[in-house]
A and B are shown apart, each in its own frame.
Chain A
Amino acid sequence: MLLESDWTALWITFKLAALTTVILMLIGVPLAWWLAFTRARGRVFIEAVVALPLVLPPTVLGFYLLITLAPAGPIGSVVTAMGGPALAFSFTGLVIGSVLYSLPFAVHPLQNSFSAMGRVPLEAAATLRAGWWDTLFTVAFPLCRRGVLTAITLSFAHTVGEFGVVLMIGGNIPGQTQVVSIAIYEHVESVHYAQAHILSAGLLAFSFFLLLAIYGLNRRFTVSQP
């Protein structure tokens, strides 16, 4: 059955995916809102940047992240100088990498549903005395619940499924940065096919049922392929 190191990898994967999803919602909602409603010219530029992880090989993103977050890199050196933890090859580094890599999977469904909703319900709420936060939680989120749900599920699932970025930025440190996808890779490398099977089949089933749930809840949803 599962080794102890496999259980640890599962726990790290879950922790990473959950944390990434929470952070993505905090960043993704305002970003998608801005993209959906702004008339600013810079919109196209930001949209292209957000969509980059869809087309870039994960190794490219991982490579640049590694360089920036390394102790000598532009961000890594600042963090180290301020007494912060090392970012490269750490769980924190993994979270940063995952957030960037899964950003379009949070922003696109949110932006699409905000655009589809339009300004009118928001204006109607304002004429009915609802302030901004009130409108967000009582009008925008309920009307865009499909988009919100899709964004949450896809952020989580996509983070669980990543490999390249995680390997580049996190390395493969059991108990710290070894996630399930990397644990499977290692089992295969050391010809432990039985272990690889258990984890792979588990991940396959998990991903399938998650997607099944999204499609069931949201028939109109179209998956954007990386």
Chain B
Amino acid sequence: MSIHARFSLARGDSFRLTADLELPARGVTAIFGQSGSGKTTLLRCIAGLERPDHGYLRLGKNIWQDDAQRIFVPTHRRPLGYVFQHAALFDHLNVAANIDYGMKRVRSATRRVQRDDVIDLLGLGPLLKLATPALSGGERQRVGMARALLTSPSLLLMDEPLAALDEQSKRDILPYLERLHRELEIPVLYVSHSVDEVSRLADHVVVMQDGRVQGSGPVMTMLSAPGLALARDQLAASVVEGRVMDFDARTGLSRLLTSVGELHIPQRLVSGEEHRLRIRARDVAIALEAPTQTSILNCLPVIIQDMQPHGEHELLLRLGAEGRLLAMITRYSSDQLSLATGQHIYALIKSAALEA
């Protein structure tokens, strides 16, 4: 099953959106871009909240919009959930009435998501009787997510659900999103301008700029793709997948076999499980020879695929067979080590910086 979306829309003289996308209808697809890139407009077109000048939208076998056939399914007849940037809760209803609002409007035969499960998943039990103005920003977002999930949507659209939150609330809510991703089989389109969120949550990434789609692909290739905004970000990171080989209770380290090599991480993981690791480019250091006396456990022999300037004093290196591992180093270090494309080197990654 897949999602096919084709839109073109002009707003005034300044803004144009043109997109033609084929997206997987499973897992989390991040729509990444800076503000004004058209990512929210794209999401609103998919929801039917914005009516594009020309459009075609198909989810699996269901056509939601086709100008050629004069089909435009209004938003309230599309089986979708939408999480707004500022939650958009109904302030005349308490938390329980908010999360029940959509559920009551869905026929009981089509309810696949259980109310108790969602309340549990998002930790809303103690909040149910509260008035919505009494909630914190993070709590409001969790209520907004529960409200959307309880309509048992075929597609969940999230418009920068963390952007309006402070750092602490973000850290509090991210684990809920990760659980959502793991435990529910609802495809998610997630609009974000944060590389950090994209690398933690997404399976597939669409990169938008100036109302156009710059690229679309699996997160692992997109994060390190040269020329895209993701790898140019201050928080550039790579994502690798690996299988847990074993856990050593004495050292507290798990060994994972990943696409870039063997990695140790200071976490108790179950053997045989597949995990996803996020490696920030700034946490990777370079050595010409395998260091012998060092505290760093992860030392991978790699090839430099290419080197790109990042700002005035730094370089972004793409390492490994497919260039999936990113390293951010200073120009000075690069000159000291006389690094060059094609060279065999060692990538050093601090275990403490890794989490599964």
Chain A interface residues toward B at CB < 8 A: 120-121, 123-131, 134, 138-139, 142-143, 145
Contact = CB atoms under 8 A, between A and B. Distances in A.
A126 B76 contact: yes
Interface of B: 47-49, 74-77, 80-82, 84, 86, 88-92, 101-102, 105-106, 147-148, 151
A128 B147 contact: yes
A126 B79 CA distance: 11
Contacts of A120: 84, 86, 88
B106 A123 contact: no
Contacts, number: 58
A121 B47 CA distance: 15
Nearest to B89: A124
Given A126-B74, A128-B76, A130-B101, 6 more contacts: A123-B49, A123-B84, A124-B88, A126-B49, A127-B82, A139-B90
20 contacts: A123-B49, A123-B84, A123-B88, A124-B84, A125-B90, A126-B48, A126-B49, A126-B75, A127-B75, A127-B80, A128-B76, A128-B105, A128-B148, A129-B102, A129-B105, A130-B76, A134-B105, A143-B90, A143-B92, A145-B92
A131 B73 CA distance: 12
A120 B144 CA distance: 13
A138 B91 CA distance: 12
B53 to A, nearest CB: 15
B153 to A, nearest CB: 9
Given A120-B84, A123-B49, A124-B84, A129 B90 contact: no
B105 A142 contact: no
Given A120-B84, A123-B49, A123-B75, A128 B91 contact: no
Contacts of B89: 124
Contacts of A142: 92
SS of B interface (majority): loop
A138 B101 CA distance: 10
Contacts of A134: 105
A142 B101 CA distance: 14
A131 B74 CA distance: 9
A155 B171 CA distance: 52
Contacts of A124: 82, 84, 88-90
Q: Which 8 A-B pairs have the closest CB atoms?
A: A128-B102, A127-B82, A129-B105, A126-B75, A124-B88, A142-B92, A126-B76, A120-B88
B81 A127 contact: yes
Given A123-B49, A123-B75, A143-B91, A128 B84 contact: no
Contacts of A127: 47, 49, 75-76, 80-82, 102, 148
Nearest to A124: B88
The winner among A128, A138, A142 for most chain B CB atoms within 10 A is A128
Nearest to A127: B82
B105 to A, nearest CB: 4
Contacts of B106: 129
Contacts of B81: 127
B88 A121 contact: yes
A124 B75 CA distance: 10
A120 B88 CA distance: 6
Contact of B151 (A129, A131, A143): A129
B95 to A, nearest CB: 15
Contacts of B48: 126
A131 B102 CA distance: 11
A129 B82 CA distance: 11
